[in-house]
Amino acid sequence: MTPQSLPPLSRRWWAALAALPVLVLALRALGFLPSVMDWDESLYALQAREWLHGGWPLVAAWDMHPIGAPAMFAATMQVFGQSIFAIRLLGVMAVSATGWALFFAARAAGLGPATGYAAALLYAGHSLMPGGMSVNTELLFAPFTTAAMALAIHGVARPELRPGWWRLCAMGLLVGWALLIKPVAVAEGCLAFALLVAAPWRLGQLSLARVLGFAAAYALLCALPTLGFGVIYAAMGELDAYLDGTFYAPFRYAQGAAGGEAVWRIASTIATLLWPLLLALAGVMLARGERLRVIGLLWFLAATLAVAGPAHFFPHYFLIWLPPLCLLAALGLQALARRLAPGRMAATMALLLGLVALDPWRLDSAARLERGANLLAPDVPARVAALIAAELPPGEAIFVPNYQPIVYFLARAGIPTRFPFPIHLTGAFANLAGASTDGEVGRILATKPRFIVIDRGYWGTMRPAAANAIAAALEAGYGLAYVFPDERNMIELWRVRGGDGGE
């Protein structure tokens, strides 16, 4: 079927789309319990909190990413409160929005609603892995790039029509916001534009001059969110901080490639995503509709370029694969169901979909349920933060040099530096800040923060100069107040001796 011949969606399918966030919430429900899923997520929460208190990202709290992620965190916290609940709810909304975009991308290509909904459910399930339970940049920009691709696919399905400005503007702004979250979205943004103009240009509907004009307008629209915030930062006198976190630091980060570790990380991800990869292969080989198969493969290639862009290959980077992978996998499910049970195709497809989509949830839940009753109890970062909050005046700074930065957030404590992310301040990535942060560590210690939180198991990950300075400060002016056994390490809470923080 073509998009023009597709019947309107029935009330049943509109109800199913409305129910998608409920299904996503059910799949991600256990993720609302722990306070920490990912260090990056904790940093975005801190940046968002500081922003809501008047301290802009990259100025009050620095990172090597643009400000799109903390902007979305801040918007969610403004509505739902400064809490772990709000952070996890943002993840539910992002995954649901990507699912909706996948549904309409499939429908734009002429596929039935069952195939589109299968793609949405596959994405919802596999967004839990690898590393997708945390609300990271890959989940946050996926709704925007997927929606842009859906608009492009609709244009591909109707090549006789010249691309309209409304579609170009919508796609450009969607990709523009995705770029404000993470620059690697440029690969999918370029593909979306190429799909939009290629067929009309080939059919003579667009002249080369018009294509070039569209390209210039599209590039400007994609750059508009980044340029707009740049103007705001420039007006505040903080353009250097904006340029550093948005452009220079990501470039410095990409210089330190993962090397031989990349092969193992890629192999691990392939093993983790084996079922959707196999189903996608079946979709490429067996499914009807060559156009969508080609688009799916091109999309997967663009996503692969985005994964490889930072040259580090951490597990959550591969979440960028999921939208095209799930779209192709839905085609594979349909093709296999048609061949396995032609008379009961819908039931067979539903059974296969359930088995594949729920498998990541099964694995994730099994690992969490091993904690038993402790699953419902506060985890170590929350317990550390509660003890600090009981004694700390609101907003007073503490120091967390090598442990989870979410402690600042949960304890409602101030951050003692614009580099609250431990790996930037005391770890191996201090060069990302543009200069050594040893001097910053010394400045923090000179203020004698009331509490210092140490992860003894990760002591060796700090730079020697930073570790030595912290050890000397602890010996000279702090007493060990509490020790918290964690799953792998011992977490130490040190309290300053004498003064307001005396033992």
The tens digit of pLDDT for each residue in 194-237 reads 999 988 888 888 889 999 999 999 999 999 999 999 999 999 99
Whether residues 287 and 425 fall in one domain: no
Q: Which residue has the higher pLDDT, 249 or 467?
A: 467
pLDDT tier at 1 (50, 70, 90 boundaries)?
low
- Residue 106 within a domain: yes
Q: Give yes or no for residue 502 having a pLDDT over 50.
A: no
Residues 249 and 317 placed together within one structural domain of the fold = yes
The answer to whether residues 102 and 42 touch, using CB atoms and an 8 Å cutoff, is: no
Q: Are residues 239 and 300 in the same domain?
A: yes
Number of independent structural domains in the chain:
2
Closest alpha carbon to 474 in 491, 499, 449: 449
Q: Is the same domain home to 221 and 121? A: yes
- The rounded distance, in Å, linking the Cα atoms of 422 and 39 is 9
Shared domain for 339 and 410, answered yes or no, is no
- Residue 412 predicted with pLDDT over 60: yes
CB 70 within 8 A of CB 47: yes
Instruction: Answer yes or no: is 135 within a domain.
Output: yes
- Give how far the C-alpha of residue 250 lies from the chain's centroid of Cα atoms, to the nearest Å: 16
Q: Give the Cα separation of 221 and 213 in Å (integer).
A: 12
Q: Is the pLDDT of residue 75 over 70?
A: yes
Residues 332 and 408 in one domain: no
- Of 102-111, 183-192, 245-254, which range is least confident? 245-254
Of 8 and 52, the structure prediction assigns the larger pLDDT to 52
Contact 33, 374 (CB under 8 A): no
Query: What's at 330, amino acid-wise?
Result: A
Same domain, 129 and 217: yes
Between CA 97 and CA 495 the distance in angstroms is: 45
Q: Is the pLDDT of residue 418 over 90?
A: yes
3-state secondary structure of 452: strand
Could you report the per-residue pLDDT of 25-60, keeping only the tens digit for each?
999 999 999 998 888 999 999 999 999 999 999 999
Q: Is residue 119 part of a domain?
A: yes
Residue 8, in any domain of the structure: no
For the packed helices 274-286 and 261-272, what is the interaxial angle rounded to 10 degrees?
Answer: 70
Assess contact for 474 and 494: CB atoms under 8 A: yes
- The answer to whether the beta carbons of residues 424 and 478 sit under 8 Å apart is no
The domain of 426 spans 380-501
Tell me, yes or no, whether 19 lies in a domain: no
| Same domain? 415 vs 328 | no
Name the β-bridge partners of 479: 495
pLDDT surpassing 90 at residue 121: yes
321 with 420, same domain: the answer is no
**What is the residue-averaged pLDDT of the chain?**
91
Q: Are residues 398 and 308 in the same domain?
A: no
Phi–psi pair at 453, nearest 5 degrees: -110, 125
Inter-axis angle of helices 113-126 and 84-108, nearest 10: 150
Distance CA(195)–CA(294), nearest Å, equals 11
Look at residue 3 in the predicted model and tell me its pLDDT: 58
Inside any domain, residue 235: yes
Alpha carbon distance 424, 174 (integer Å): 30
Residue 314 predicted with pLDDT over 90: no
For residues 402 and 471, what is the distance between their CA atoms, to the nearest angstrom?
Answer: 12
Domain boundary (322, 356, 390) is at 356
- Kindly list the distances between the CA atom of residue 162 and the CA atoms of 113, 156, 159, 197, in Å, as whole numbers in the listed order: 26, 10, 7, 8
Distance CA 482, CA 492 (A): 6
Residue 217 DSSP SS3: helix
For residues 183 and 88, membership in a common domain is answered with yes
pLDDT over threshold 60, residue 324 = yes
Residue 503: predicted pLDDT:
39
Q: CA–CA distance from 76 to each of 29, 73, 82, 87, 405 (Å)?
A: 18, 5, 9, 7, 19
Q: Residue 453 is inside which H or E element, if any?
A: strand 451-455
Is residue 2 included in any domain, yes or no? no
Q: Is 60 exceeded by the pLDDT of residue 302?
A: yes
> Residues, the chain, total?
503
Q: Is there a domain that residue 14 lies in?
A: no
pTM flag (> 0.85):
yes
Backbone angles phi, psi at 428, to 5 degrees: -75, -15
- How far is 308 from 293, CA to CA, in rounded Å? 22
**139 and 204 share a domain?**
yes
pLDDT of residue 6: 66
439-468: average pLDDT: 94
